[in-house]
Structure 1
Amino acid sequence: MKTLLKLAPVAALIAAPSLGLAQEADVTPPNSEIGFIFTTFMFLVAGFLVFWMAAGFAMLEAGLVRSKNVTMQLTKNISLFSLAAIFYYLIGYNLMYPGDGWSVDGILGAFAFAALEPVGLAGAEPDLTYASVGSDFFFQLMFCATTASIVSGTLAERIKLWPFLIFVIVLTALIYPIQASWKWGGGFLDGMGFLDFAGSTVVHSVGGWAALAGALILGPRIGKYNKDGKTVPIPGSNLPLATLGTFILWLGWFGFNGGSQLYMDTAGNVADISRIFSNTNTAAAGGAIAALILSQVMYKKPDLTMVLNGALAGLVSITAEPLTPSLGAATLIGAVGGAIVVFAVPFLDKLKIDDVVGAIPVHLFAGIWGTIAVVLTNGDASIGTQLYSILVVGIFTFVVSGVVWFILKSTMGIRVGEEEEINGLDMAELGMEAYPEFSKG
């Protein structure tokens, strides 16, 4: 009898399902909104992943600089991301995506604040053919901030904080958005047929060109090159941290490349995203293994820092076209990127260009290679157009960056004093150390 009493409420619900369910409103979104929902969701998730790359850059740089400069690198990285978020909103976004606001024949867009549609607040109807403006802005901001992160590592251990941050403002508000608009904003390079899927040139080489200009004007670290012209190795403080940073960047790259599919509204787009993920992953693996083998051959022992940068170079190399290659082709494209790093690092040292973390070989040289490699797998690509676009973006970024660096050097100075550099930027610029209980490295 007790058992029957316990089952009575259940039986009542089974016998009368309409009492609750029939009265509930149908919350299934209409078909016209499903594509909008999934594409917006993709942008947000991909944006989260690319945001995580900011942590990867911070950890990589913290690991590859000496312990006396770690706090400075961490300060630069969180500051540059925050400045990028503000100035891309104030100026950059609408310069990059001017729509009908082109002012000089597809070369320069309009200056205006970014504005998000008030959907959910005022009942405005979004454009259901794409994604929400908020998700698009968020996703594109991450690319802008990534460009600034590239510059940070190259100029480590001898640049002042505030001049660097002023350069970041110019880079994220003007330099990056203007050249990016020429491709992704419907400008003249896009009209010519330039192909750069996720930014081997638009993002990575731009960061590399800006870093190269800064390195030439700033000069090498004290003690990096001796009187005989030989390179003096300066080991980083924490290779486990650098390795963690590389894995974080590898993870974030799935959002970087996968989100650049731009749509997740059909089965075909979802299949393409999965293909992009696989090609992105195998290109990184190809770059790492190529650097592992080549460093063994050239230096008689494998070099972990080369392997880490080899993986990143593989990722940069596949970024211009991660969709059309087969897995085998993507692996080879990444492997060439890894090989480029192994040869480019000593080449820069011969020129006495001091790049602390190897960002110029990884992002500039491999970015150029990746942009050219598009013609190997995408039949719509023209080698002439690819090379022309590389030159246009490179000359613009290098010249403008050089002018900005020169102005900063002439007005407020960009390099710390000799004593401050020897003692470390952590204490000289910030008055705090990352590892206060240990001796300085």
Structure 2
Amino acid sequence: MLNSIKISLTTLATFMMSSLTLSAEEVNPDLVSAHGVFVLNTLLFLIGGFLVMWMAAGFAMLEAGLVRSKNVSTQLTKNIALFSIAAIAYYLIGFNLMYPGDGWLISGWLGPIFSITGLEPVGASVEQIGDISYASVGSDFFFQLMFCATTASIVSGTIAERMKLWPFLIFTVVLTAFLYPIEASWQWGQGWLYEMGFSDFAGSTLVHAAGASAALAGALVLGPRLGKYKDDGTVTPMPGSNMPLATLGTFILWLGWFGFNGGSQLALGTIGDAADVSRIFTNTNTAAAGGALAALILTQLMYKKIDLTMVLNGALAGLVSITAEPLAPSIGGATIIGAIGGAIVVFAVPLFDKLKIDDVVGAISVHGIAGIWGTIAVVFSGGSLITQIIGTVSICAFVFVLSLVIWYLLDAVMGIRVSEEDELNGLDTSELGMDAYPDFSKT
């Protein structure tokens, strides 16, 4: 009895080992069926979308930590409100405007403005879905929505501590329903920049520099916080209220970025796709590390002390920088790209202060300047420098100019800035009547 069991186990083990040791030539490279490809791609979009959605929490915590305690509740309100607005606006208008297919109103430039997204029927069959070479509509919409919301999140931090809540929310409607989907359609919707050969894998410019352009326009119209810049040109430090929260927010964003970049592979149905997603994760991580270390070393050399805020922004700048091309570079190349992004932030933040452009969280430097750098760095992987410059300038100019017009209109119609008294007392009191830290005195 025991001998027969041993023989059976030996036979089973031999069969399993022989199955696992097939030569490379004997292995079918297409191991996943068409149904399996659809399922795996859909799963990638859902997991990627979940991770990018978690970045909304990262932005909220980062901003809550970097603003003063009297404005924390307002920032948190803005973040949950902008995400909710983006979800509805992108459903009603943005998604089909961004991916017009054959429905361009102006070929390559403008898609259908009012076209509501429809999902597959409940319990859909292969026949009802039709094309199963990609992923479900629901997963695609969910994933792309998160990028749209991220663009609005970038704006929120820059104009903190002095803007009224409702004008910001109205601007968010326009940004997420129209501005972002239109410029993103030029590349990701196979518009004119796609035809030209412009490359932006996961959105260094399409998402990050675009959001920074809208933020810059808002900061210019709004003006700096009271007391930020003195007449003699000196800058008054206005430190954040909670560095542990800001650090937590940075780590949450770092985690979410694996979905941001990895999900942008848009496929997980082959061995090559799986290997590429793994490569993207690795490059994304090392770029962030390079950015953080570059900022850490530079602030020590320049200021004789490490600046934690700069280190956090350095890590984020590294992530933004690698987003345009996280697949092609080697690990060393990704580290260098991220490190340059981190170094850029160390110099860009004080430059904007010299220009008296008050960016509370440094988003214009992190997402704008580093985003432009990352998009230009695509040329090291074979892109055209001229094409990358044309694409970057076109997107940033489009978003900046229209955002500037919208901010001025909002200011003329309803006013976008709170009164001096409300700003001094804090927006939590004037806008919400609710303090984030009621047991502590305002600072």
The TM-score normalised by the length of structure 1 is 0.92
Alignment of 1:415-426 (within 5 A): 415-426=417-428
Q: Does 1:252 align with 2:256?
A: yes
Q: Does 1:176 align with 2:198?
A: no
Residue in 2 that maps onto 1:212? 216
Residue in 1 that maps onto 2:377? 373
Alignment of 1:99-138 (within 5 A): 99-111=101-113, 112-120=115-123, 124-138=128-142
1:118, CA displacement in angstroms?
Answer: 1.1
Residue in 1 that maps onto 2:7? none
Query: Which range moves more in the overlay, 30-39 or 53-62?
Result: 30-39
1:305, CA displacement in angstroms?
Answer: 0.1
Could you tell me how far apart the structure 2 residues matched to 1:352 and 1:261 are? 40
1:106, CA displacement in angstroms?
Answer: 1.0
1:124, CA displacement in angstroms?
Answer: 2.1
Q: Does 1:334 align with 2:341?
A: no
Could you tell me how far apart the structure 1 residues matched to 2:120 and 2:372 are? 37
Equivalent position to 1:361, from 351, 365, 373: 365
Q: Which amino acid aligns with 2:105?
A: S
1:139, CA displacement in angstroms?
Answer: 0.1
1:126, CA displacement in angstroms?
Answer: 4.3
Maintained 8 Å contact 1:117/1:126: no
Residue in 1 that maps onto 2:74? 72
Could you tell me how far apart the structure 2 residues matched to 1:62 and 1:351 are? 25
Residue in 2 that maps onto 1:21? none
Equivalent position to 2:328, from 315, 324, 331: 324
Maintained 8 Å contact 1:119/1:126: no
1:31, CA displacement in angstroms?
Answer: 2.1
Q: Which amino acid aligns with 1:176?
A: Y
Alignment of 1:9-408 (within 5 A): 31-111=33-113, 112-120=115-123, 124-376=128-380, 378-379=381-382, 381-408=383-410
Residue in 2 that maps onto 1:15? none
Q: Report the CA distance shift for 1:281/1:30 in structure 2 as closer, same or farther (over 3 A).
A: closer
1:428, CA displacement in angstroms?
Answer: 0.6
1:228, CA displacement in angstroms?
Answer: 1.1
1:32, CA displacement in angstroms?
Answer: 2.2
Maintained 8 Å contact 1:126/1:132: no
> In the TM superposition, what whole-angstrom CA distance separates every residue of 1:96-144 from its partner, at most 9, and x where no partner exists?
0000001112100012111112151687234211000000000000000
**3-state SS in 2 of match to 1:183:** coil
Instruction: Structure 1 unaligned segments of length 5 or more: list them.
Output: 1-28
> In the TM superposition, what whole-angstrom CA distance separates every residue of 1:356-378 from its partner, at most 9, and x where no partner exists?
000000000000000000111x2
Maintained 8 Å contact 2:152/2:175: yes
Equivalent position to 1:429, from 424, 428, 431: 431
Could you tell me how far apart the structure 2 residues matched to 1:42 and 1:196 are? 20
Could you tell me how far apart the structure 2 residues matched to 1:99 and 1:354 are? 40
Residue in 1 that maps onto 2:18? none
Maintained 8 Å contact 1:88/1:141: yes
Maintained 8 Å contact 2:32/2:269: no
Could you tell me how far apart the structure 1 residues matched to 2:94 and 2:42 are? 21
Residue in 1 that maps onto 2:441? 439
Q: Which amino acid aligns with 1:120?
A: G
Aligned length: 411
Could you tell me how far apart the structure 2 residues matched to 1:32 and 1:291 are? 46
Could you tell me how far apart the structure 2 residues matched to 1:182 and 1:309 are? 29
